Structures are given as C-alpha cells and as structure tokens.
C-alpha cells in the first residue's frame, strides 16, 4: 500500500494543474474546462436554492429575483453563460475523442507522422469557434436585446 501511495505522489503541486508544459493547446483547454466546471458548479449550487425559493410563493420569488437585477449579478450571470458555452463545446469535443473518433487509426510512428492529438486539433478549433459565436450571441442578448 505504501509503495502505491508513493507512486501516486504529486511532485508538481499546483503547477501540475496549471502549466501546460509540452502538452500544448489541449492541456490549457483541459485546465479551462476544469475552472469553468468549478465555476458552473458553484453557481449551480446557489441556483438550486434561488430557484427552489418558489416554494414560498410568487412574492418571495419576485423579491429573490429583484436581488439579482443588480449589474454585478447580471455580469456574473453572463460569466456563467460564457463558462457554459466553453464547457459545453469543449465537452462535446472530449466526448467525441473519448469515444475514439476524430483521432485517426493507430499507426506506427514512422517519421513523418501525425499523432492523435494533432489529428483531433481541427475539432478543438471548430468547437472554440462555435463557443465564441455562442458567447457573442449571449452578450448581445444579455446587454443589447435583453434591456
């Protein structure tokens, strides 16, 4: 048991979480996926309590919603939307690659060759473009059309 724990030792500490090192773009996508995931989780836990407040009736609900009308909450809400758009689109990419699609067939690493990470990179780029479009539309809705 002791050997197993030694084997699992985290030598890099926090830097191991944040630094991409030689792993490249996908490693940062992974870090951002986690940060946005944690942000959404925190919001979601508060969201459960806020939306469940409707058990106390319409007046209480309106009071709760009035609280969230302040610009700082509106900006926070938009940040959650941005996090959602990123997390969802990157999540679709992860789903596709997790199931083994978009990475090409296994092959011998005879130079010149393309590794699986490079083969799936167009997926990352397309996912990020769609996420960006969603974020722009969300911004339009939150700040221009929604008023």
Number of CB atoms found within 10 A of residue 127's CB: 20
- Between 124 and 135, whose beta carbon lies closer to other proteins? 135
Residues 56-115 that bind other proteins (CB under 8 A): 58, 61-62, 65, 77, 81, 84, 88, 91-92, 95, 98
CB 120 within 8 Å of CB 92: no
Interface with other proteins (CB under 8 A), residue from 3, 55, 72, 111: 55
Rounded to whole angstroms, what are the CA distances from 125 to 18, 105, 121, 138, 141?
A: 21, 21, 6, 20, 24
Q: Which stretch binds other proteins (CB under 8 A): 38-46, 106-114, 115-123, 125-133?
A: 38-46
* Separation CA 35–CA 14 (nearest Å): 13
Residues that bind other proteins (CB under 8 A): 5, 8-10, 16-17, 34, 37-38, 40-41, 44-45, 48, 51-52, 54-55, 58, 61-62, 65, 77, 81, 84, 88, 91-92, 95, 98, 137-138, 140-142, 145-146
């Amino acid at each position: 048991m002791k050997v197993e724990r030694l084997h699992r030792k985290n030598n890099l500490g926090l830097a191991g979480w944040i630094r991409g090192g030689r792993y490249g773009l996908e490693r940062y996508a992974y870090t951002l996926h986690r940060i946005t995931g944690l942000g959404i989780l925190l919001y979601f836990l508060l969201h459960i309590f806020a939306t469940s407040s409707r058990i106390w009736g319409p007046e209480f609900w309106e009071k709760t919603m009035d609280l969230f009308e302040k610009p700082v909450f509106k900006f926070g809400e938009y940040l959650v939307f941005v996090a959602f758009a990123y997390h969802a689109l990157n999540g679709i990419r992860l789903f596709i690659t997790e199931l083994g699609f978009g990475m090409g067939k296994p092959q011998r690493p005879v130079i010149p060759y393309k590794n699986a990470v490079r083969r799936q990179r167009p997926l990352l780029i397309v996912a990020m473009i769609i996420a960006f479009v969603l974020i722009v539309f969300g911004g339009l809705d939150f700040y221009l059309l929604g008023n």
